[in-house]
Amino acid sequence: MEEQTPILECRNLCISYDTRGGEIPAVIDFNMKVMPGQGVGIVGESGCGKSTVALAIMQYLGSNGYIKSGEIFFHGRDMRTMSEEELRALRGSKIAMIYQEPMASLNPSMKIGDQLAEVPLFHEDVTVSEAKARALELLEAVKLPDPKRIMDAYPHQISGGQQQRVVIAMALLSKPDLLLLDEPTTALDVTVERGIVELVKEISAEFGTAMVYISHNLGLILDTCDRVTVMYSGEAVEDGTVNEVFDEMCHPYTSGLFASIPLPGADKNERPLVPIPGQLPLPHQRPQGCFFGPRCAFFKAGTCDQEKVPMRPVEGEEGHTVRCARFEDIDWAEGDHEAVTVKSVKSGKIVLDVKNMKKYYEVRSSSIFSMIRGDAVKTVKANENINFNAREAETVAIVGESGCGKSTFAKVLMGLEEATDGQVILNGEDLAHVSVQKRKARTVGHLQMVFQNPFDTLNPSHSVGSQIARVIRKFGVEKDPDKVREKVNELLDLVKLPRDFAHRRPRQLSGGQKQRIGIARAFAGNPAVVVADEPVSALDVSVQAAVTGLLTEIQNDLRSTLLFISHDLSVVRYLSDRVVVMYLGHIVEQGTTDEVFSPPYHPYTEALLSAVPIADTSVEQKQIILKGDIPSAMNPPPGCPFQTRCPRKIGSICETEMPPVKELSSGHTILCHLEDDVLNAMEPVIVTHSEEKIA
Amino acid sequence: MTAEIQSNDTSPSAMSKFFKSVGLLRESPIAIFGLSLILFWVILAILAPILPLYDPNAPLEPFKMPLSDARDGGLYWLGTDHKGRDILSRVIFGAQQVLIWATTATAVAYIVGMLMGVVAGYLGGWWDEVISFISNVLLSFPVIVLYIIIITYLGATGFNIVLAVTFASAPGIMRIVRGLVLDLRTRDYIFAAQTRGESAMYIMLVELLPNARGPLIVDACLRLGYTTITIAMLGYLGLGLPPPDPDWGKMIAETQPLGSFAGHMAIVPAAAISSLVLGFNLLADGLREISMKD
């Protein structure tokens, strides 16, 4: 094995960017070796340099980026000595890259077949019909339904998951030796992501393609790679096989990462997540010695803050290296701060009660044909019979993928849309048909929202303080300017940010800090219910833990109800008391977190659970891969909404009849035709090897 | 006390922000050059009353070539025109007029266009239909004809020039703002403002418009250039500012019957127009380049 030349090798690679502020080293002293057929993962938080490495391999660093020192060997040849001509011949044929956003990799004005055929036409001496035949073959290989139709489609006519499959097909067309995947599934839904990940695994096995898989998601890396490199602030901090790094991690940062993601078994009250304190240093603010020093629980002055720390091998484990000055001396128990356990809070009376809520939209088709046919107005049933309630101080999670109607529900709740039918009762007041403009200021303040995208949640033109102050005045909490300012300070204290942040502009804040301000804003009016729409999904894992922790803490103190909208079942299991699973506008399952996460399941819940990537080697997940994509709410399938993808479909009844709401136990309901004996025979999806069933 | 803190905290940041943005200009030599051309004319226009110039309307000696001696011992730096007026003085006082009216007209066009654009983009529906229709009608009209109609009917005054420029420019500005707003209105902070029950007016003026300023500043620079051309063109056609105030366009027009006999009479104001318009365009280019970098 050792004599084989690696497909790709990076030696002491240093990459810098030239900016207004001078040279910024983005990647420092990076080493990597990719053997044929091997999958190597690079994991790290945003800004750690993982994408820069990929761009450097492609020699695509842009006008201000350059390789300062070190070498990149591809099949033993230094890529830095290759001419532009040679590189062009290499890219797309020997090395292919798959990006996060599939739409950005496809030309919107070209048919998919033509785009795919371009690759062999450019790189090889083939005729157009041969190229087309090859394209079709690969569309079949990436398991796209009806590849002939897709050859003739434009990119916007197929779904996001299908687009990513096309991109993968395009990357594979010229049988590359190396595939670079930069967060290839981050923009996709979990069940679609699962399908793509399986595809990537199969393909690398089938074609023997080596892979560099870049992701922030440890679970995905575990699933796809043989080796993994953990990066922090431009440096590799730990490198080894997946098992070494996941089970016998030696670097405090790696260990911190694992402590801050919700693995099965974590619990917000008894075993809360431990966030990594502080934040990633900016490249020009990196400390002396170990870059992780200031955030490290095992930091030792005199050892860690002196000279640059080299990568050192771990004794007894060949190939496992760690960039830590004192990893042999670390007593892991010492840094294991007795995680602050929180008393679980008893939920109180029902605060929010949603009864038979329906929301239909009328969509007008402007095409002349539909006008002639007389079906110019179509009804989109975004929410159908939504029934659930939430109690004081309770966390209710609404789970579902894109298009499931959770955002529509949030809009109705917030009063931006009026419900078509049904009731939404908040503290005894029906708000289903009252738009936000007509609600009393106090009611509006009682129902607030934390938004998903931290970069969008604050208005970039106004200072943080003035934005919080506006909310305080608007909800009638305080009017007097001095009191308002005092309240702004109190809220900043509440979200654990320094008071002088009030004068800052949003762009001077990090993502996590912005999200804290978003939380402060939502809690300004002493809300009864806070709707959090994926509040942490756009944040880095170590920051996620801190923000979720903060959110639950404030919620417990103020006894607010939290409606937590998310697609990430790990976070949901960790945070919520009860779970509502939605699919295509219907609630398919609801119950307490334990009930939903253990059998019997709704088949969709079962599939969702099996799709969540879990970064724990001792956990075994049942593989359930859903076919196809989520149907559009414009054309829902007849009968059961899930019947088109359901692996447990029983027959024509699923296609014709809407399933009944079946009560499995008090409060635990599912929407399914399955018989009781089938439901009772279901096995848990997630099992840990210690025989202990967790879900 | 708190008010004191507030003022202490905001004023230096406003100052430093100003210096920072001037500092940013250094990155684009083109922007610096453009800004210098503009400042050259602005400074001359401001200093015009105290500079040692002849009265721009006083008939002195006709048809003097540049750098010829004056009867009173002075120097006609740029010569005199057919009525014996000092060209240097007329160009500088003309700059005053052009700068005042171009800025006013562009500003008014901007206020109208931005309001139209933000209403059409944010409220959508019928507002958008009506405003977009009106804009399309105005844009489909040949601009020059529009100017001639407005000014011949209403008379050649500064106010009417502002009116004509507004009619011609506001639809274009409306389109830009509408496009920007269509994008900005999907942001979470707009959603946040809606969920706390803010009025549409507040959202449009406080939440949306300030965030559209980047591209609008670049466009405003370009538009100042266009408006300068427009004012010169109207002057040339005899539809400009009422005589005898010096007007660059009119100065060129006056040389026309004279042919090449007094070339300097046309070249000087023409160079003035070009340099000022070039200044605005280069500044816009430079600003765009700087904003792309970030």
Contact A58, A84 (CB under 8 A): no
Extract the tokens encoding A571: 């976070």
Instruction: Please report the pLDDT score of residue A335 as a whole number.
Output: 53
Tell me whether A483 touches chain B (CB under 8 Å): no
Contacts of B191 in chain A (CB under 8 A): 416, 449, 451
Contacts of A508 in chain B (CB under 8 A): none
Tell me whether B259 touches chain A (CB under 8 Å): no
B188 and A452 within 8 Å at the Cβ level: the answer is yes
Instruction: Please report the pLDDT score of residue B282 as a whole number.
Output: 93
Look at residue A358 and give its three-state secondary structure: strand
For chain A, percent of residues with pLDDT exceeding 90: 4
How far, in Å, CA of A643 to CA of A628, rounded?
A: 12
pLDDT band of B9, cuts 50, 70, 90:
very low
B10 and A461 within 8 Å at the Cβ level: the answer is no
Contact A182, A650 (CB under 8 A): no
The mean per-residue pLDDT over the stretch B96-108 comes to 93
Extract the tokens encoding A2: 């050792």
Average pLDDT taken over every residue of chain A: 83
pLDDT band of A44, cuts 50, 70, 90:
confident
pLDDT at A340 over 60: no
Contact A316, A301 (CB under 8 A): no
What digits encode the pLDDT tens for the residues B120-172? 999 988 999 999 999 999 888 888 888 888 888 888 888 888 999 999 999 99
Of B191, B206, B293, the CB nearest to A451: B191
Instruction: Please report the pLDDT score of residue A694 as a whole number.
Output: 44
Residue of A426, A437, A458, A459 to mutate for B, most B C-beta atoms under 10 A = A459
Q: Searching chain B, which residue's CA lies closest to the CA of residue A505?
A: B13
The mean per-residue pLDDT over the stretch A504-521 comes to 87
A451 and B188 within 8 Å at the Cβ level: the answer is yes
Cα–Cα distances in angstroms (integers) from residue A563 to residues A455, A534, A556, A572, A579, in the given order? 22, 10, 13, 11, 10
Residue A562 exposure: Cα atoms within 13 Å on the Cβ side: 32
Phi and psi dihedrals of A475, rounded to 5? -85, 0
Look at residue B182 and give its three-state secondary structure: helix
B211 and A461 within 8 Å at the Cβ level: the answer is yes
Cis peptide before A264 (omega within 30 of 0): no
Instruction: Please report the pLDDT score of residue A693 as a whole number.
Output: 43
B197 and A503 within 8 Å at the Cβ level: the answer is no
What digits encode the pLDDT tens for the residues A221-271? 888 888 999 998 888 888 888 888 888 888 888 888 888 888 777 777 777
List, in sequence order, every residue forming a beta bridge with A516; answer none if it has no partner: none
Phi and psi dihedrals of A116, rounded to 5? -65, -40
A459 and B188 within 8 Å at the Cβ level: the answer is no
Tell me whether A458 touches chain B (CB under 8 Å): yes
The mean per-residue pLDDT over the stretch A498-523 comes to 87
A444 and B27 within 8 Å at the Cβ level: the answer is no
Cα–Cα distances in angstroms (integers) from residue B175 to residues B109, B119, B121, B171, B211, in the given order? 13, 11, 9, 6, 16
Contacts of A456 in chain B (CB under 8 A): 187-189
* Long-range residue pairs from A535-539, CB within 8 A, at least 24 positions apart, any chain: A535/A450, A535/A451, A535/A452, A535/A564, A536/A571, A537/A452, A537/A566, A537/A567, A537/A568, A538/A452, A538/A453, A538/A454, A538/A455, A538/A511, A539/A454, A539/A511, A539/A512, A539/A515
What digits encode the pLDDT tens for the residues A551-577? 888 888 888 899 998 888 888 888 888
pLDDT at A431 over 90: no
Instruction: Please report the pLDDT score of residue B207 as a whole number.
Output: 92
CA A660: distance to chain centroid?
A: 33
Contacts of B10 in chain A (CB under 8 A): 503
Contacts of A471 in chain B (CB under 8 A): 196
Please report the ipTM that was assigned to this predicted complex: 0.80
What digits encode the pLDDT tens for the residues A612-666? 888 887 788 888 878 777 787 777 888 888 888 888 888 888 888 888 888 888 8
Instruction: Please report the pLDDT score of residue B178 as a whole number.
Output: 95
What is the residue type of B97? Answer: Q
pLDDT at B4 over 50: no
Phi and psi dihedrals of A73, rounded to 5? -100, 130
H or E element, residue A673: none
Cα–Cα distances in angstroms (integers) from residue B105 to residues A52, B168, B231, B270, in the given order? 48, 11, 10, 21
Contacts of A453 in chain B (CB under 8 A): 188
Extract the tokens encoding A188: 């996709």
List the 3-32 stretch of B: residues with Cβ below 8 A of A.
9-10, 13, 27
- Look at A641 and B73; give whichever has higher pLDDT: A641
A448 and B187 within 8 Å at the Cβ level: the answer is no
pLDDT band of B1, cuts 50, 70, 90:
very low
Cα-Cα-Cα-Cα torsion A306, A311, A315, A316, nearest 10 degrees, comes to: 170
List, in sequence order, every residue forming a beta bridge with A530; answer none if it has no partner: A448, A562
- 3-class secondary structure for B157-169? CHHHHHHHHHHHH
Cα–Cα distances in angstroms (integers) from residue A120 to residues A29, A75, A130, A410, in the given order? 36, 21, 9, 48
Any idea which of A56-70, A442-456, A678-692 has the lowest mean pLDDT?
A: A678-692
A456 and B197 within 8 Å at the Cβ level: the answer is no
For chain A, percent of residues with pLDDT exceeding 70: 95
CA angle A111, A113, A116 (to 5 degrees): 110
Contacts of A416 in chain B (CB under 8 A): 191, 194-195
What residues contact residue A207 under an 8 Å CB cut-off, 6+ apart?
A172, A175
The mean per-residue pLDDT over the stretch B238-247 comes to 79
What digits encode the pLDDT tens for the residues A412-422? 888 888 888 88
Contacts of B9 in chain A (CB under 8 A): 503
Extract the tokens encoding A361: 């939209």
pLDDT at B7 over 60: no
Cα–Cα distances in angstroms (integers) from residue A305 to residues A243, A293, A301, A311, A329, in the given order? 30, 7, 6, 16, 16
Q: Searching chain A, which residue's CA lies closest to the CA of residue B184?
A: A456
B188 and A503 within 8 Å at the Cβ level: the answer is no
How far, in Å, CA of A335 to CA of B144, rounded?
A: 77
Count, residues in chain A: 695
Of A436, A452, A460, the CB nearest to B194: A436
List, in sequence order, every residue forming a beta bridge with A432; answer none if it has no partner: none
Helices (H), A612-667: 652-656
How far, in Å, CA of A484 to CA of A370, rounded?
A: 55
Instruction: Please report the pLDDT score of residue A609 as a whole number.
Output: 87
Contacts of B197 in chain A (CB under 8 A): 415, 436-437, 439, 441, 444, 474
Instruction: Please report the pLDDT score of residue B12 as a whole number.
Output: 47
Taking alpha carbons only, the member of A508, A41, A56 closest to residue A282 is A508
B2 and A482 within 8 Å at the Cβ level: the answer is yes
Any idea which of A376-385, A517-526, B171-180 has the lowest mean pLDDT?
A: A376-385
List, in sequence order, every residue forming a beta bridge with A333; answer none if it has no partner: none
pLDDT at B3 over 60: no
H or E element, residue A118: helix A112-123
What digits encode the pLDDT tens for the residues B206-217? 999 999 988 899
Tell me whether B129 touches chain A (CB under 8 Å): no
Taking alpha carbons only, the member of A519, A545, A543 closest to residue A530 is A519
A20 secondary structure, DSSP code = T
Looking only at the bridges linking them, the beta strands covering A312-313 and A321-322 are antiparallel
Taking alpha carbons only, the member of A220, A549, A602, A594 closest to residue A397 is A594
pLDDT band of A426, cuts 50, 70, 90:
confident
How far, in Å, CA of A459 to CA of A466, rounded?
A: 10
Helices (H), A495-615: 511-522, 541-558, 569-575, 593-597, 603-611
Taking alpha carbons only, the member of A449, A452, A447 closest to residue A434 is A447
How far, in Å, CA of A300 to CA of A152, rounded?
A: 63
Tell me whether A537 touches chain B (CB under 8 Å): no
Looking only at the bridges linking them, the beta strands covering A395-399 and A578-583 are parallel
Give the distance from residue B123's alpha carbon to the nearest chain A alpha carbon, in angstroms. Answer: 14
Of B196, B211, B293, the CB nearest to A444: B196
Taking alpha carbons only, the member of A572, A537, A584, A570 closest to residue A402 is A584
Average pLDDT taken over every residue of chain B: 85
CA A581: distance to chain centroid?
A: 18
Q: Searching chain B, which residue's CA lies closest to the CA of residue A20?
A: B27
Tell me whether A441 touches chain B (CB under 8 Å): yes
- 3-class secondary structure for A446-473? HEEEECCCCCCCCCCCCCHHHHHHHHHH
How far, in Å, CA of A252 to CA of A322, rounded?
A: 10
Contacts of A501 in chain B (CB under 8 A): none
What residues contact residue B142 under an 8 Å CB cut-off, 6+ apart?
none
pLDDT at A62 over 60: yes
Looking only at the bridges linking them, the beta strands covering A39-43 and A227-232 are parallel
CA A252: distance to chain centroid?
A: 24
pLDDT at A104 over 50: yes
Q: Searching chain B, which residue's CA lies closest to the CA of residue A473?
A: B196
Helices (H), A231-325: 242-247, 252-259
User: DSSP for A393-439?
Assistant: T-EEEEE--TTSSHHHHHHHHHTSS--SEEEEEETTEE-TT--GGGS
Instruction: Please report the pLDDT score of residue A342 as a whole number.
Output: 62
CA angle A87, A92, A95 (to 5 degrees): 75
How far, in Å, CA of A578 to CA of A567, rounded?
A: 15
